[in-house]
């Protein structure tokens, strides 16, 4: 089973050609048709826009130029472009409603966007309200059907859903490594939910294993990214916002660390 429709998100000001190529290439690996979505918060007094301080006429020309650039890329790959232009809140709401008609949402690295804070708002809004998984891509495509993934496993609903969202995207016999980041080893006799999940995945034909990782000098997000890179995984899978959104905003958490950070490996997040 594969994804059939991918929505990749852009803003008007970012240097996004490399990300656009990566998104289109990754969609092709999933046998999916890509749509390039351009979100453009309009210059309304008191509202956030980027670039700031543009007149309406200048802003419209700026957005039109970016839309034309995306269409140039899209036509080469039988893709389409959709534009979400309104106030920030209204454009985000329109984007969320549209995203529910896709199988997976693709967001690029921070460098592909002119306004990093709006990028974070986009990810958080889509993660919490779209009911779809989000694939955070670096500036490179997924080049083959994923045969190895690492899952940040903590037994939560969010981690379980993220894993289930990842399964249609990987090889039917993929290696799936469930990693639980803990401060210390559990008792050797303890049977964990990870062991039970491995039994389920093995019965489905996957090569599944579970192990413990220690944080060391890194936080949980850094530990998972390090382990995924060391394992040469095709992507990392995590559940998004296991703690409340407010708590993660105030005190931080794995989801926010992943969203804020730069990573060389793709990350699939689901809530």
Tens digit of pLDDT at every position of the chain (271 positions): 566 899 999 999 878 889 999 999 999 999 999 999 999 988 776 666 556 667 788 888 889 999 999 999 999 998 999 999 998 899 999 999 999 999 999 999 999 998 888 899 999 999 999 999 999 999 889 999 999 999 999 989 999 999 999 999 999 999 999 999 876 665 555 667 889 999 999 999 999 999 988 877 778 888 899 999 999 999 999 998 765 554 444 334 788 888 887 788 999 999 9
Residue with the two structure tokens 């543009």? 54
Taking the C-alpha atoms of residue 147 and residue 174, their distance in angstroms, rounded to an integer, is 4
- Helix axes 88-99 and 116-129, enclosed angle (nearest 10): 40
What distance in Å separates the CA atoms of residue 234 and residue 246, rounded to the nearest whole number? 31
DSSP-derived pairing of the beta strands 148-152 and 5-10? unpaired
Kindly report the backbone phi and psi dihedral angles of residue 115, in degrees, each rounded to the nearest multiple of 5, phi listed first. -120, 105
Residue 220's pLDDT is 87
pLDDT value of residue 247? 44
Task: Please give the structure tokens belonging to residue 210.
Answer: 């579970």
User: 93-100, long-range: CB within 8 Å, 24+ apart, which pairs?
Assistant: 95/9, 95/37, 95/39, 95/122, 95/125, 95/126, 96/125, 96/126, 96/129, 96/130, 98/7, 98/37, 99/7, 99/126, 99/130, 99/132, 100/130, 100/131, 100/132
- Residue 270 CA to residue 238 CA, distance in Å, equals 7
Q: What is the pLDDT of residue 30?
A: 93
């Amino acid at each position: 089973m594969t994804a059939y429709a991918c929505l990749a998100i852009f803003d008007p000001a970012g240097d996004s050609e490399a990300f656009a190529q990566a998104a289109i290439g990754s969609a092709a690996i999933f046998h999916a048709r890509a749509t390039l979505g351009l979100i453009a918060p309009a210059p309304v007094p008191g509202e956030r826009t980027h670039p700031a301080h543009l007149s309406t006429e200048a802003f419209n020309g700026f957005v039109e130029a970016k839309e034309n650039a995306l269409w140039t890329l899209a036509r080469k790959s039988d893709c389409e472009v959709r534009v979400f232009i309104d106030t920030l809140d209204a454009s985000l709401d329109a984007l969320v409603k549209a995203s529910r008609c896709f199988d997976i949402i693709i967001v690029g690295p921070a460098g592909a966007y002119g306004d990093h804070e709006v990028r974070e708002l986009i990810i958080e809004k889509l993660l919490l309200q779209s009911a779809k998984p989000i694939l955070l891509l670096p500036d490179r495509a997924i080049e083959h059907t994923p045969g190895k993934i690492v899952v940040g496993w903590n037994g939560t609903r969010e981690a379980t859903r993220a894993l289930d969202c990842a399964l249609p995207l990987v090889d039917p016999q993929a290696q799936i490594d469930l990693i639980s980041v803990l401060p210390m080893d559990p008792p050797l006799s303890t049977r964990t939910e990870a062991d039970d999940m491995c039994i389920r995945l093995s019965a489905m034909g996957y090569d599944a294993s579970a192990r413990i990782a220690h944080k060391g000098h890194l936080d949980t997000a850094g530990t998972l990214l390090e382990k995924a890179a060391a394992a040469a995984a095709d992507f990392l899978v995590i559940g998004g916002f296991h703690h409340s959104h407010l708590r993660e905003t105030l005190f931080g958490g794995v989801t926010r660390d992943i969203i804020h950070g730069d990573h060389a490996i793709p990350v699939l997040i689901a809530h």
